[in-house]
Structure 1
């Protein structure tokens, strides 16, 4: 039989990964049990203490009933997937923007590999804990059969959105348990110079600050911005009008290091006296299809050694600009310094430049903790929404100018960045991204995530035909895009812009919907089935799933961004998906044989994937693998 590797089609098991990391430092703290490797926490405590550890001690930290459950929840893998919804999308094949319907906890897990360290800015406006709002009730105690049976959509969500009244004995605890795992997963997605902004009111700002200190790092706290949401009211409790809400901001460590003058490692070398310098990755997160001018081979002028670009992470400069950077001493090659161990060219940044313009380097414009008046209040958010919809379909949306101000402050020097909002609501963030791109020519991309929470049957939204919040958010993006496009057209006519008649801004978005895995239960647990029973499962894939569905799950499992351009082509009579040129070729047709593989091998793809049941026969499966290794040895092949 063939030994072709299967894609596991589930998110990483963070518990096992963390055990391996601890084992690397403290092998004596790892023990074996019937369930596999475990950590001896008593020994680990002792390894991390100068004193003899005899039992529990008081310590400074935030505790609440459900905290351990929250940690476990964040670490649990998921086998769910995202399914494309082309009929709700706009310009699906070409856009780089994403709108994802589903529980943001599950979605954040699914995005871990494709967007790890790639998000420049996160903004969220989570449910406030006022006693009247609903919070997510995450329950992963259900058995696996039930989990795989559930669709992951409306019925399940109705059960997981529960009221959190002040009379509840876990009023604060339930809210913290909901927020903690989501922040933990979101932190992984932030880039080294990424920053997160969180809107919150007085009810939980103190607790949010504490869990952010723990999850994101107290040393990474940037500021607590006051935002004036309204003018003073007279009829309020205790005679004090709560006119302000807060926007908490935390940044990744490299971002903070730059702002504070740098705790980086700087080198001193005789060829550059009195000018310490540091190194930085010379590649970018863009693929060859996205940055064709950066897909070139760097040649070391001193010895002629060649360094071709990685098609998935091209150079952070073009072939034309390389000579300029080299002449300015900003490129360091392997072998330039005995004390520097690198395998490819890197950027050189000088300490005096870091200190002079840390904000410029890391994309953050210095701002005051007092927001300017022009960012608006709640009434302005309602007005923004009202300009697109006649009826009041959504309560208290944030003003576009508020989000735009935050965007500009954090991405003004990185206008090609990715923005994430996993409590998307009415999609104000997407609106703000498009508006700012229209104003400064940026190419920022957004990822919106929203639970399809049902609208009340008595509400204006329901009466207008919007059965859940996602329908409102998607329609807002469509209408905002049309409004921005029309405003640009009028301005172009007046000022002579777009002389060639083209507006290249991305107004589209791809819609994905959270669902159960495309694979039958036997795919994940073959050990639970007898050999004679396995014959019933000639195909591991659920019968209602399409090739588009399978491609999305493969991209997530292989860590490819969902924004990559997808083309369809026909090779030897079979439908083939081409993702980011040759990053991935996928074919889910049947009858895969040697002739087809010969045609595929000519493309020299980095990866190929087929259905396990798609080969003509077992002999063809073995021959295909061997033939591909001969004709295109760099190609990685897997099956589902």
Structure 2
């Protein structure tokens, strides 16, 4: 039975294994800081494998760097022993909610989350410190002890995170900010799904550096846009230089093929559609040709005019918008048509911009079966009756061909990179909204408007998406997710991370503000949905009430002691600590949550307490995992658990009195559930 390693994987070693699989010749051995021999990569040999020419000496290349970059990148790969501990008392709707609120350093949180959420997050939005010279940044120098750091700054919070004022007089002003952001962005990219995207709010202080950081982390080809959000309706006149009216929102995708969703259509857009011919479906006039004649030669052909008999061709370089049979069906709405080879290779070659020898042969035209005055007169009468076919003709029926584009087939509005406050709100609206929610006193100075987050959710999320914000501030993202779900019936889930920074007033820290905002906003959303359902017409489908709960987790020290420590680290008198390896303050639920990442089970999983064989167990996701941490686990309890046939079974070392009990467990599982994966913690 395997034991769970309490430390997150070493990403450096994972990368070494990947490189070794591709280039076995670059693998070597080296000594680490402790003098141990470890597997390593010969970078000179790797350079030779990846170069088509011999390169000697220093090389010039385009790159973005700063003092501390290597250490920042290493920090993203460095394992952590921190874990998530649940706090049921602070949570809301613990048993049913799929939402998470994580208290603690977001760098540690992202490392832990990577084990469960890698490749599953559709949307990340963050509003990090802007590095104005007056705000705080995270100091990730974990080489210092708590006491050493406290002597220098005193800014060490209870969760282990370090916040320092990054003054403009600091010689590493921009470097420290980049070093803070770099590892977090690297980990954020790991969380994104293949069709995911990240949106980052920033002002002019670091927008240029952030763009370079993101180009490196996500790839320049994955740049989606630099969105200008009009944050204010009344720019300050006392600003130096040109007053700032907009802030940046940098957007990057995981894949270069990412396409944003559409916005709702506006009344102005719909007003362009009408029905001048009496068609019951409103339409607007569109081009009856498409680009790409040379590559779509089979769609370059003549169509005979139903009223004049003239042969009509697409403009040079363009082709028909639909396939031949679809075009024939539409034209049959005017008269009786057929396919016919009219040997017009020279004309089609001219349209395609190629020689006659290169043009596709035997492409048939669509022509009238009986071209005569009687046919032309009937087609004219068809025009005069109205409600024309989708391909119609201008000039009273005698002009060129156009295409009806129906309103009910049109997509929404394509988002641009200019977001005016009239559409997405401004800072004053955000602060007034928060103030109203908290009974007249805003506990946070710089919230983002809910409408701004709603715009991002609209174009970058699906109804079942996971949405992450690891600089969550006042939890605007959570309120926006709940409101979006209420609007479209979705089941988006939010995961928020926030360091418990002190705030002015009576709230204590920012986590308390965020959690209370979610409670209050959630209550308001439910009231609004219920009120709307009361007003529904008879027989109408009621709107579902969205998930407005959240589980609170805390980034903390392990609930189970590290048994992988070296013997020399402990004295003889301390060995009794490991009779039960759980720390005294740890609950069974703490132990369970520490183990969940080992099974790739999300922290939002359903957890039910049951009794099996006289022992208390946790049933996770209805049999995916059954965990038992009671002492004195006997054959009766083991058999009862095995008969449930869970995918995973988890026990604590302290469950068993001796090796005989462990052997008993193995035999019972082989008998009743041999496929169950058994682990101990």
| TM-based fold match above 0.5 | yes
Q: Closer, same or farther in 2 for the Cα pair 1:557/1:154, shift >3 Å?
A: farther
The structure-2 alpha-carbon separation of the partners of 1:365 and 1:119, relative to structure 1 and needing over 3 Å to count, comes to farther
Q: 1:377 aligned to 2:426?
A: yes
Give me the CA root mean square deviation: 2.6
Q: 1:556 Cα shift?
A: 2.0
Structure 2 match to 1:448: 496
Give the whole-Å Cα distance in 1 for the aligned partners of 2:141 and 2:165.
Answer: 15
Q: 2:291 corresponds to which residue?
A: none
- Which deviates further from its counterpart, 495-504 or 603-612? 495-504
Aligned to 1:31: 28
Shift in Å, 1:519: 2.2
Deviations 1:558-616 (Å, cap 9, x if unpaired)? 21111111111111121110111111100111112222111111111000110012113
Which runs of 5 or more residues in structure 2 are unaligned? 31-35, 150-154, 262-322, 324-410
Which SS does the other structure have where 1:71 is aligned?
A: helix
Aligned-pair CA distance for 1:97:
0.5
Give the number of aligned pairs. Answer: 522
- Per the alignment, residue 564 of structure 1 pairs with 605
Residues 208-232 of structure 1 show CA distances to partners (whole Å, capped at 9, x for unaligned) of 0001000011111111110011134
**SS of residue matched to 1:111:** helix
Give TM-score, length-normalised by structure 2.
0.73
**Does 1:402 pair with 2:402?**
no
Distance 1:570 1:254 in 2: 51
Q: Deviations over 1:366-394 (max 9, x none)?
A: 41122252211111111221220111211
**Alignment CA distance shift 1:90-1:24 (3 Å):** same
> What's the CA shift for 1:81?
0.6
**Which residue of the other structure, out of 46, 50, 60, is the alignment partner of 2:48?**
46
The Cα shift of 1:110 comes to: 0.4
- The match for 1:284 is none
* Aligned equivalent of 1:70, options 69, 72, 76: 72
CA drift at 1:485: 1.1
Is the partner of 1:550 in helix, strand or coil?
helix
The answer to whether the 8 A contact 1:568-1:577 is kept is: yes
Moved more, 387-396 or 45-54: 45-54
Cα distance, 1:525 vs. partner? 3.9
* Equivalent residue number for residue 486 of structure 1: 527
Query: 3-state SS of the aligned residue for 2:675?
Result: coil
Residues 145 and 103 of structure 1, relative CA distance in 2, 3 Å threshold:
same
SS at match of 1:12: coil
Separation in structure 2 between the aligned mates of residue 145 and residue 574 of structure 1, nearest angstrom: 43
C-alpha distance in 1, partners of 2:118/2:251? 20
Equivalent residue, structure 2, for 1:368: 416
Per-residue CA distance 1:187-209 (angstroms, 9 max, x = gap): 01101100110000001110000
Distance in 2 between residues matched to 1:44 and 1:572, nearest whole Å = 58
Aligned to 2:591: 550
Cα distance in structure 2, aligned partners of 1:237 and 1:66 = 33
Partner-residue secondary structure (3-state), 2:258? helix
TM-score calculated relative to the size of structure 1: 0.77
What's the counterpart of residue 185 of structure 2? 183
Match of 1:323 in 2: none
Deviations, residues 20-41 of structure 1 (Å, cap 9, x unaligned) = 1111111111112333101111
Question: For residues 169 and 551 of structure 1, do their structure 2 counterparts lie closer, same or farther at Cα, with a shift above 3 Å needed?
Answer: same
Mapped to 2, the partners of 1:21 and 1:48 lie a distance apart of: 15
For the 8 Å contact 1:492–1:498, the answer to whether it is kept is no
Q: Which one has a bigger Cα radius of gyration? A: 2
- Return 470-479 or 22-31, whichever deviates more: 22-31
Conserved 8 A contact 2:610-2:618: yes
Contact 2:156–2:162 under 8 Å retained in 1: no
Aligned partners of 1:542 and 1:529: how far apart in 2?
Answer: 16
Structure 1 residues 480, 496: closer, same or farther in 2, change over 3 A?
Answer: farther
- The offset of 1:101, in angstroms, is 0.3
In structure 1, which of residues 52, 59, 62 is the aligned counterpart of residue 61 of structure 2? 59
| Separation in 2, partners of 1:383, 1:76 | 42
Residue 54 of structure 1: how far off its partner (Å): 2.4
Q: Deviations over 1:414-459 (max 9, x none)?
A: 201110000000000000000111111111110010000112xxx3
Measured in 2, the distance between the counterparts of 1:370 and 1:598 equals 64
Instruction: Give the equivalent residue in structure 1 for 2:510.
Output: 469
Unaligned runs of 5+ in 1: 148-152, 260-274, 276-362
C-alpha distance 564-375 of structure 1, shift in aligned 2 (>3 A): same
CA drift at 1:145: 12
Task: Check 1:15–1:598 CA distance in 2 against 1; reply closer, same or farther (3 A cut).
Answer: same
Does the residue aligned with 1:245 lie in a helix, a strand or coil? strand
Mapping 1:125-136, distance limit 5 Å: 125-136=127-138
Which stretches of structure 1, 4 residues or more, deviate above 6 A after TM superposition?
143-147, 497-502, 530-533
The residue that corresponds to 2:486 in the other structure is 438
Contact 2:613–2:639 (Cα < 8 Å) also in 1: no
Match of 1:160 among 127, 145, 162: 162
Query: Which is further off, 622-631 or 495-504?
Result: 495-504
SS of corresponding position for 1:387:
helix
Task: Give runs of aligned pairs for residues 96-495 of structure 1, distance below 5 A.
Answer: 96-142=98-144, 155-156=157-158, 160-233=162-235, 235-253=237-255, 255-256=257-258, 366-372=414-420, 373-389=422-438, 390-411=440-461, 414-455=462-503, 459=504, 462=505, 465-495=506-536
Q: Tell me the distance in 1 between the aligned counterparts of 2:654 and 2:247.
A: 56
Residue 548 of structure 2 aligns with which residue? Answer: 507
Match of 2:639 in 1: 598
The question of whether the paired residues in 2 share the 8 Å contact of 1:423 and 1:450 is answered with: yes
1:19 to 1:589, Cα distance in 2 relative to 1, 3 A: same
Deviates more, 1:534-543 or 1:505-514: 534-543
Structure-2 separation of matches of 1:613 and 1:25: 44
